[in-house]
Amino acid sequence: MMINQQASKQASKQASKQANIFIINLAKSTARKQFITEQFSRLNENLKNPIPYHFFAAINGKENPDFPLFKKYNKTKHFQRKGNQLSLSQLGCWASHYLLWEKCVELNEPIIILEDDAILKENFLEVYNFLSSPQNSFEFFWLSIPSPAKRKRNQKYKVICNIENTENSIAQFYYSWANTTGYFITPKAAQKLLTHCYEWVYEVDTQMERYWETKIPYLSIIPFCVEPDLSMESNISTTDNMKNKKV
């Protein structure tokens, strides 16, 4: 079905407020910053109202091993469930996303969070315009494709509705995502995550996808408008996971 016509009429009468995009980027990752900047430059080149995007200084866990938010990490529970420990770079990733959830609540407006290896697909602008419009009454969307793992990429979903005047659809998913390359989040959903993540037990993407606990609708927009550039070397090392097996 289509998003209802009444919402469409309201959308045409109201001025859309562009959603701010925050891109998580380590200060040392200048090539990644240039990579995503060039994509937005091309996208904004012919737009009357350029898409607003901002770089968010990612937390470098290796350089800040005592970062205050790391106290939320429950290493005992993590070890019991996963048999290893989160690395400092994984904790830095955790903190970066957590701080942006706080930023979303502080701004009291929806935002889009991207990681700096994001590839913007052909339908990104269409999806962005929908996310910024009054038609969008949803709390949260995964924007990136799920993990490269075949079982996650090929998971089943249920189309809820089509987005008017586009070939994009809103779909309900049920399986793990394992990818935080891009997502749309509202203050309501951000507050739910902040409440749920009072302690960090899993990797940030794993804890986010536990929708039966967070009570955040598990939705995405298809075709996916973002995907990670897998040719880039990851900034998130897991090599020190195995250094300390005992808790």
Confidence (pLDDT) at 3: 46
Q: Would 3 be classed as within a structural domain?
A: no
In the predicted model, is pLDDT for residue 5 greater than 90?
A: no
| pTM of the model as a whole | 0.88
- Confidence band, pLDDT 50/70/90 cuts, at residue 239: low
Confidence (pLDDT) at 12: 39
Q: Would 2 be classed as within a structural domain?
A: no
Q: Do strands 20-25 and 111-115 pair parallel, antiparallel, or not at all (unpaired)?
A: parallel
Work out the mean pLDDT of the chain and round it to a whole number. Answer: 89
Domain count, the chain: 1
pLDDT tens digits, 62-113: 999 999 999 999 999 999 999 999 999 999 999 999 999 999 999 999 999 9
Q: Would 9 be classed as within a structural domain?
A: no
42 three-state secondary structure: helix
Q: Are the beta carbons of 58 and 89 closer than 8 angstroms? A: no
pLDDT tens digits, 125-148: 999 999 999 999 999 999 999 987
pLDDT tens digits, 158-215: 999 999 999 999 999 998 898 999 999 999 999 999 999 999 999 999 999 999 999 9
Instruction: Identify which has the larger pLDDT, 35 or 14.
Output: 35
Residue 234 burial (10 A CB sphere; 0-12, 13-18, 19+): exposed
Other C-beta atoms within 10 Å of 105: how many? 18
Q: 69 is written with which tokens?
A: 């938010």
Calculate the CA dihedral of residues 61, 112, 18, 132 and round it to 10 degrees. -170
Confidence (pLDDT) at 232: 74
Q: Would 14 be classed as within a structural domain?
A: no
Other C-beta atoms within 10 Å of 146: how many? 23
Q: Could you list the residue range(s) of the whole structural domain that residue 203 is in?
A: 20-242
pLDDT tens digits, 106-125: 999 999 999 999 999 999 99
Rg of the chain over all Cα atoms, to the nearest angstrom = 18
Confidence (pLDDT) at 154: 75
Q: 95 is written with which tokens?
A: 């903190």
pLDDT tens digits, 18-60: 999 999 999 999 999 999 999 999 999 999 999 999 999 999 9
Confidence (pLDDT) at 176: 86
Q: Would 28 be classed as within a structural domain?
A: yes
Q: Would 78 be classed as within a structural domain?
A: yes
Q: Would 157 be classed as within a structural domain?
A: yes
CATH number, domain of 24, equals: 3.90.550
Place of tokens 């079905």: 1
